[in-house]
Amino acid sequence: MSGMQALLKQSDRDPARAVSDVVVGAGEPYLGKIARGQFFRIVDLEGNQAVDTLFYCLADLSERYSAADTIQKQEKLYLSTGTVLYSSLGRPMLTTVADTCGRHDTLGGACAAESNTVRYGHQTKHMHSCRDNFLRAVAEADIGLTKRDFASNINFFMNVPVTPAGKLTFEDGISAGGKYVELLAEQDVLVLISNCPQLNNPCNAYNPTPVRLLIWEREQPHV
């Protein structure tokens, strides 16, 4: 069994029993709450869609997902089954309990008007970006978050290899329609998502598509 195959794991949770089932349109943002003990699944409905994601501690939004802490504690760059996502205070936030894709990026960051301009030319500056999505979602919710609160994010389903020279490259995704990642919330969290609108690199096959978000209630102990 290859290393990739060893990381793949399916979930037995039934979508019909989910307490929340939302489709996020191509290029759109999402902001929602996940309670401790609940399970959260992100489904790549059509394949190769990048899902830029940030998590915040609901009790104190200044505590948020930390790529540095997560990478250091896991001793690996990519996320998959068994990965624990750590906060900026070094506390577990969520644990990946199922994954049918097998690899999710922690380094590529979120596209922005400025980075689009640098990478792809001044004509792309007006294009919608993940950073714009984040700003739009928190502004509409009026929860006190600003652009200063956007730390390095997770890019679920995105393929960003690191070259031998230490550089990042944006490559075609390894996901496919129907693949998903599922996480168990270790604390009450706020999730902020940009369903990436990127049209200039192959992170979503140059074609943004919808994703599906499901939440299941915490498991009850058997009597």
Per DSSP, the residues of 11-38 read ----GGG-SEEEEEPTT-EEEEEE-TT-
Grade residue 145 by pLDDT with cuts at 50, 70 and 90: very high
Q: What pLDDT is attached to residue 194?
A: 96
Cα gap 9→198, rounded to integer Å: 28
Grade residue 24 by pLDDT with cuts at 50, 70 and 90: very high
How many domains, in total, are found in the chain?
1
In-domain check, residue 1? no
In-domain check, residue 42? yes
pLDDT in tens, 135-144: 999 999 999 9
Average pLDDT of the residues of the chain: 87
In-domain check, residue 15? no
Cα gap 181→81, rounded to integer Å: 8
Cα gap 86→92, rounded to integer Å: 5
Q: What pLDDT is attached to residue 91?
A: 97
DSSP bridge partners of 207? none
The runs of H, that is alpha helices, within the chain are 3-7, 67-74, 113-120, 130-141
In-domain check, residue 14? no
pLDDT in tens, 47-72: 989 999 999 999 999 999 999 999 99
CA angle 157, 54, 116 (to 5 degrees): 70
In-domain check, residue 205? yes
Whole-structure pTM value = 0.89
Cα gap 65→85, rounded to integer Å: 7
Query: Cβ(73)–Cβ(86) under 8 Å?
Result: yes
In-domain check, residue 104? yes
Q: What pLDDT is attached to residue 82?
A: 94
SS3 letters across 66-88: CHHHHHHHHCCCCECCCCEEEEC
Nearest in space to 111 (alpha carbons), one of 93, 80, 94, 134: 134
Domain of 32?
A: 20-216
Q: What pLDDT is attached to residue 113?
A: 56
Cα gap 118→127, rounded to integer Å: 13
In-domain check, residue 6? no
Compute how many other C-beta atoms are within 10 angstroms of the C-beta atom of residue 196: 29
What distance separates the 2 farthest-apart alpha carbons in the chain?
A: 63
User: Which residues fall within 8 angstroms of residue 23, CB to CB, at 6 or more apart?
Assistant: 45, 210, 211, 212, 213
In-domain check, residue 106? yes
